Structure 1
Amino acid sequence: MTHILTLVAQLEATSLTDAVVNRVRDAVRGGAPTVLSPGEAVDIPLAAPPDPAPLAAALGGAAIDAIVVKARGRRKALLVADMDSTIIQGETLDELAAFAGIGEKIAAITARAMNGELDFKQALRERVAMLKGLPVDRLERTWERIRMTHGARELVATMRARGAMTALVSGGFSFFTGRVAQALGFDLHRSNVLLDDGAVLTGAVGEPILDRDTKLATLRALAEQRGLKLSASMAVGDGANDLDMLQAAGLGVAFHAKPVVAAAAKARVDHAGLRALLFAQGYPATAFTGVD
């Protein structure tokens, strides 16, 4: 068998029963399934990538993600992850804007930028300029509101335990990436810098701005640094500025992504949490470390 179909259920909404698994197996003409987590995740070996239509029909709109990967080289030695709306819930810039009383205005620009409708650099400068004069202590108060995405800690800890490098690469801000990286154990983080005068934000962001080109360049540089082919890498993100690195990585996963990203990525997770990225690599739940 040359490929693997991994099914991952959103347990809050459904579960992988034998009936569901057998129905999918028949639809894709797969081999005997391997349970990775009872009711949550299974692997189904395939002789070739499945036809999407029968697979979708077999799933019947259930909250179950279907990820197809090559059987060879499933486990990745490099993880490059976006932060906002991927490793953490929500957008930190939008949270900051809420303290300035312009949350809805900035959130609208964020949504358009993440869907690829606006130039990322221009949109970032525009939004940051609107925060001019915001007291710097609002950064700490925003950090107190941040919640990690379910499975983030397991993803980073399990991959690191197996020798992988893990990098948090974000178009967001270093104030937050540094704290998230430390909390979850990422090996390194790269992001933008919000400028302040010691008391309030100046309304400017440090140059050069980390954008989609930088994310792709970072993926390539880290792979080269580790002596890895890009096929040995995994990238995950949700916005248009993640798309280039998702397409270049050995396994690029659009995570609860904007439509333009979900449509173009090699793999997508629309329902489950970040544990799905471990299941897609063939890890059973019993092998996870750092369990949330």
Structure 2
Amino acid sequence: MPISALPEQIADWLVHFPASGVLQFTDRGIEAVDKPECDGYVMLMGATLAPEHVAATLKQIRDMGMATCCFVPFAVGEVWTVVLGTSAHSSDLMQWLKVQDWSIDGAHVAELPRLQAGGLILMDMDSTAIQIECIDEIARLAGVGEQVAAVTAAAMHGKLDFAESLRNRVALLKDAPISILDQVAADIPLMPGLTDLVSTAKAAGWKVAIASGGFTHFAGVLQRNLGLDHIESNVLDIDGDHLTGKVNGRIVDAKVKAETLKVLQERYQVSDKQTVAIGDGANDLPMLKAAALGVAIHAKPVVREQAQVAIRHMNLEAVICLLQAGDLIAKA
């Protein structure tokens, strides 16, 4: 059966596939083959993943002059993943997948960390692990929301120096009551998939940490609730029951985030091939580039363009799919 004749639901493909191994789509149908040497892998992921997505990607790979194979699809919850092996790793294919007008996500990498091998996940907090920018929420309650939000947006798009922009934003919070910190902390909306990602990773022996340009007051809540192994974040200066408008100690900027990845990797004795970084803003790029797998989640354009993997539609469950794809490839 050619790919064009496969059922519309990826779940229904499995009855037509061998139980395991590597496959090829040919004019004669689906054939099991020995695992070829692959220098790249494409992951197509999404609850609405359909044969036409796979067919279009296979055509693009072949038009680029690469041989390809297919691994048996698998699901994480309701999200299906199809992994295609390619005979080369292509930056052009990476960019092609990033700009497709699909309701699914696609990525092309040279290799993937393995979930069952353990490792280190280091993620940004604001707009990555959680759905808000905490400083914007504090500012809103303090009556300076519009001024602070505008600076936050510019910094996340890489238009301002992060450390300077943070000092300027925090200065606007001078004399705000510290009670507003607890108001924000009491109702932090987690990024969908965060809890599953942390529990799945820790069950497989991974260390999970946060490196945030945000504040310890909120990162500490996540650490306590999720059992995170480490947090690296900024400390707001307080005088009595009010903010002073200053930050204590060094500011966690792009350089510090990348350094934190290396420090934790050494501390936990994690292989270079088993590090994952996740972020959305320009100050996350050095951290993403330092990891074996850098994942941009709902990211700003400059980050989406430069990141190894850019997730536009899914949430943090995409990282579980990527790590399980690493296991699938290794076992095939």
Which residue among 92, 110, 124 is the counterpart of 2:152? 110
Q: Which amino acid aligns with 1:140?
A: D
Which residue among 59, 65, 68 is the counterpart of 1:26? 59
Residues 1:210 and 1:25: Cα distance change in structure 2 (over 3 Å):
same
Shift of 1:74: 4.0
Q: What pairs up with 1:260-279 in 2 under 5 angstroms?
A: 260-279=302-321
Alignment match, 1:290: none
Q: Which structure's relative contact order is higher, taking Cα pairs within 8 Å and 6+ residues apart?
A: 1
Alignment match, 2:45: 8
Q: What pairs up with 1:152-231 in 2 under 5 angstroms?
A: 152-231=194-273
Shift of 1:185: 2.4
Once residues 67 and 141 of structure 1 are traced to their aligned partners in structure 2, the CA distance between those partners, rounded to angstroms, is 38
Residues 1:199 and 1:66: Cα distance change in structure 2 (over 3 Å):
same
* Stretch deviating more after TM superposition (46-55 or 72-81): 46-55
Which residue among 220, 225, 236 is the counterpart of 2:278? 236
Shift of 1:224: 1.4
Alignment match, 1:289: none
- Note if contact 1:230-1:248 (Cα within 8 Å) is conserved in structure 2: no
Alignment match, 2:34: none
Aligned residue for 1:43, secondary structure, equals strand
Shift of 1:80: 0.5
Shift of 1:202: 1.0
- Note if contact 2:112-2:325 (Cα within 8 Å) is conserved in structure 1: no
Alignment match, 1:287: none
Which residue among 49, 52, 75 is the counterpart of 2:89? 49
Shift of 1:73: 4.2
- Note if contact 2:39-2:88 (Cα within 8 Å) is conserved in structure 1: yes
**Aligned length in residues:** 280
Shift of 1:274: 0.5
Shift of 1:33: 3.9
- Note if contact 1:28-1:55 (Cα within 8 Å) is conserved in structure 2: no
Shift of 1:216: 0.9
Alignment match, 2:26: none
Shift of 1:49: 2.3
Q: Which amino acid aligns with 2:73?
A: V
- Note if contact 2:104-2:313 (Cα within 8 Å) is conserved in structure 1: yes
Q: Which amino acid aligns with 1:36?
A: F
Shift of 1:99: 0.3
Aligned residue for 1:168, secondary structure, equals strand
1:78-127 CA-partner distances (Å, limit 9, x unpaired): 10100000000020000001101211110000011111111111111110
Instruction: Kindly indicate whether residue 73 of structure 2 is the aligned counterpart of residue 35 of structure 1.
Output: yes
Q: Which amino acid aligns with 1:4?
A: Y
Percent identity at matched positions? 38
- Note if contact 1:17-1:39 (Cα within 8 Å) is conserved in structure 2: no
Residues 1:263 and 1:59: Cα distance change in structure 2 (over 3 Å):
closer
1:173-208 CA-partner distances (Å, limit 9, x unpaired): 000000012222211111000111231111111121
Once residues 126 and 246 of structure 1 are traced to their aligned partners in structure 2, the CA distance between those partners, rounded to angstroms, is 26
**Structure of greater Rg:** 2
1:199-247 CA-partner distances (Å, limit 9, x unpaired): 1111111121111111111101111122234332000101111111111
Aligned residue for 2:107, secondary structure, equals strand
Which residue among 120, 132, 137 is the counterpart of 1:95? 137
Q: Which amino acid aligns with 2:105?
A: D
| TM-score after normalising by structure 1 | 0.89
* Stretch deviating more after TM superposition (67-76 or 79-88): 67-76
Once residues 57 and 202 of structure 1 are traced to their aligned partners in structure 2, the CA distance between those partners, rounded to angstroms, is 47
Shift of 1:19: 3.0
Shift of 1:55: 8.1
User: Which residues of structure 2 form unaligned runs of 5+?
Assistant: 1-37, 63-67, 327-332
Alignment match, 1:84: 126
Once residues 268 and 69 of structure 1 are traced to their aligned partners in structure 2, the CA distance between those partners, rounded to angstroms, is 11
Once residues 5 and 57 of structure 1 are traced to their aligned partners in structure 2, the CA distance between those partners, rounded to angstroms, is 9
Q: Which amino acid aligns with 2:70?
A: A
| TM-score after normalising by structure 2 | 0.78
User: Which residues of structure 1 form unaligned runs of 5+?
Assistant: 285-292
